[in-house]
Amino acid sequence: MSRTKKKEIDFLEGPLTKSILLFTLPVMATGVLQFLYNASDSAVVGWLIGRDALGAVSSTGSLSNLITGLFIGLSVRASVAVSHALGSRRFDDAHDTVQTAITLSCILGLIVAVFGFFACKPLLEIMGTVDECIEQSTRYMKIIFLGIPAQMVYNYGTSILRANGDTKNPLIFLVISGAVNVVMNIILVFVFRDVWGVAAATIISQYLSAFLTVRLLCRLDNCCRLDISRLYIKKEKLGKILRIGLPAGVQSVLFSFSNVIIQSSINSFGNAAIVAGNGAGANVDGLIYIAQNSFYHAALTFTGQNLGGHKLGRIRKSCRDCMILVSIVGIIIGAGCYAAGPELLSIFARSDEEVIKYGMIRLLYMGVPYFLCGTMEVMSGTLRGLGASMTSMIVSLIGACVFRVVWIATVFRAVGTLESIYISFPISWFLTTLAAYVCYRIIFAKTKRRLEAEDGAATVERELNSSGDE
């Protein structure tokens, strides 16, 4: 057996909980490291430049996510398509999907980079970015958008690797590129004392991680191998990616849009300390999200491959195990981050008491109950793995995005406090989780009936009654 194959996890056989943990731990470590490296941008800026620069960097996240969310969301469909093909042993389909996905990522990356570069300042102005931050925010964003093609390729490439069962190599690549990012951050920001330095360090590391990912894909010895010399888009595979990927992308955009409204509401206070405190708090509770998001990827990949293999019992059990594990992880890390909040926030705020005060408000109302976001993500991943990406989008749209927009227009307008903004998040997570679970039960039952018609009722029932943890 090749070294490549030894790194692959078998999603269709063997102990289920063990397989989930083997899958999620490297993904979690990758996400945490990525978070830490990204957070180093804010930390270096906050310490070496100051509060206004930290506010400038912090105020750009929701905007960049809004612009890139649609296209990065398409990588979800690429992962699902590869998972389904591998699960049903359609290796030629998997290869065509890989070629199409990587080609698509290059094209979309260039489009987004050009648009974002020229549109970022007007969009920041529309968001009501505070005057002290607007010029630095614009400089930072222009450079960040030059790295979008690399970000696209990396996201699509790692989605393919995870669908193939390889979660270790993306972690290794991130360690390498992240270390470069931190070193370049310190050098460029220390020398030039401007936010463009931290942005330049970020895109250097992004292109490095994209290069390493593509290099590995080209060296695989199975159907997920990338042939860089003959990139192409297969119309049929593109249609499948768009059909399920667009809802995922639209969902990401809608979430980002609601977050832009939230950011605009925070900007409306006209206080750089509030903006910086919110940004510092977001960096801390982002750690909680990243740790939990690994279970989203697990639910998505396990459901996708086992659906392709007609193993409904393992789908049901993977959903259950992921919900339990994500809740445990979220509660522990959420409570821990709040308890250590002042120390963690000081990393970004240089012991600025006013900034830390506002950051702690965010951690109390969002960080502590963040496990609810994890359960929402697991249900979303399960629905997408079942092929119900449109359902997932609609549920998220109504339960989270529309709810938050309405909340800002009513409750926040009436109360006008930071607390009234932040409390909308855990409420929306809880409502969305409930709605997604109801949809999952309905879709699972429909899938069971379809497979019974295809495979015979006895076979499906036998699979459902199996332990899945043998």
Three-state secondary structure call for residue 167 = coil
pLDDT value for 2: 39
pLDDT value for 1: 35
Judge whether 384 lies within some domain.
Answer: yes
- Hey, what's the torsion of the CAs at 32, 33, 38, 39, to 10 degrees? 70
Asked if pLDDT for residue 309 goes beyond 60, the answer is: yes
Which tops the pLDDT comparison, 228 or 256? 228
CB of 160 closer than 8 Å to CB of 173: no
Mean pLDDT of 75-97: 74
- Hey, what's the torsion of the CAs at 342, 345, 347, 186, to 10 degrees? -170
Judge whether 341 lies within some domain.
Answer: yes
Asked if pLDDT for residue 111 goes beyond 80, the answer is: yes
C-alpha to C-alpha distance for 216 and 160, rounded to whole angstroms = 11
> How many domains in the chain?
1
Judge whether 182 lies within some domain.
Answer: yes
C-alpha to C-alpha distance for 72 and 256, rounded to whole angstroms = 12
pLDDT value for 86: 74
CB of 272 closer than 8 Å to CB of 55: yes
CB of 451 closer than 8 Å to CB of 311: no
Work out the pLDDT band at 159, boundaries 50, 70, 90: confident
Extract the tokens encoding 188.
Answer: 């460029």
Provide the angle, in degrees to the nearest 10, between the axes of the packed helices 341-349 and 272-308: 110
Residues in the chain: 470
Which tops the pLDDT comparison, 312 or 248? 312
User: Which has the closest alpha carbon to 274: 58, 2, 48?
Assistant: 58
Neighbours of 190 (CB within 10 A): 12
pLDDT value for 140: 79
pLDDT value for 51: 56
- Of 110-119, 202-211, 259-268, the one with minimum mean pLDDT is 259-268
- Hey, what's the torsion of the CAs at 165, 169, 171, 176, to 10 degrees? -170
Asked if pLDDT for residue 434 goes beyond 90, the answer is: yes
Structural domain boundaries enclosing 35 = 3-465
Q: DSSP states of 56-92 as a string? A: HHHTTHHHHHHHHHHHHHHHHHHHHHHHHHHHTT-HH
Judge whether 291 lies within some domain.
Answer: yes
pLDDT in tens, 318-340: 899 999 999 999 999 999 999 99
Judge whether 470 lies within some domain.
Answer: no
Judge whether 138 lies within some domain.
Answer: yes
pLDDT value for 460: 56
- Calculate the alpha carbon distances from 332 to 187, 346, 347, 426 in Å: 35, 21, 21, 16
Judge whether 218 lies within some domain.
Answer: yes
- Of 55-64, 251-260, 328-337, the one with minimum mean pLDDT is 55-64
CB of 216 closer than 8 Å to CB of 174: no
CB of 450 closer than 8 Å to CB of 393: no
C-alpha to C-alpha distance for 336 and 332, rounded to whole angstroms = 6
pLDDT in tens, 160-218: 888 787 878 887 888 888 888 888 877 877 777 666 777 788 889 889 999 999 999 99
Asked if pLDDT for residue 312 goes beyond 60, the answer is: yes
Query: φ, ψ for residue 218 (rounded to 5)?
Result: -70, -20
- Secondary structure percentages of the chain, helix, strand, coil, to 5: 85, 0, 15
CB of 20 closer than 8 Å to CB of 325: yes
Judge whether 354 lies within some domain.
Answer: yes
Work out the pLDDT band at 366, boundaries 50, 70, 90: very high
pLDDT value for 430: 94
Mean pLDDT of 345-349: 79
Mean pLDDT of 9-16: 66
Which tops the pLDDT comparison, 211 or 396? 211
Mean pLDDT of 236-242: 76
Provide the angle, in degrees to the nearest 10, between the axes of the packed helices 148-163 and 195-219: 40
pLDDT value for 222: 83
| Average predicted confidence (pLDDT) for the chain | 80
Work out the pLDDT band at 3, boundaries 50, 70, 90: very low
C-alpha to C-alpha distance for 107 and 99, rounded to whole angstroms = 13
Query: What b-and-e string marks burial along 370-405, b requiring 16 or more CB atoms within 10 Å of the CB?
Result: bbbbbbbbbbbbbbbbbbbbbbbbbbbbebbbebbb
Which tops the pLDDT comparison, 436 or 196? 436
Mean pLDDT of 144-162: 87
Contacts of 105 (CB under 8 A, 6+ apart): 75, 152, 153, 155, 156, 157
C-alpha to C-alpha distance for 453 and 466, rounded to whole angstroms = 20
Work out the pLDDT band at 448, boundaries 50, 70, 90: confident
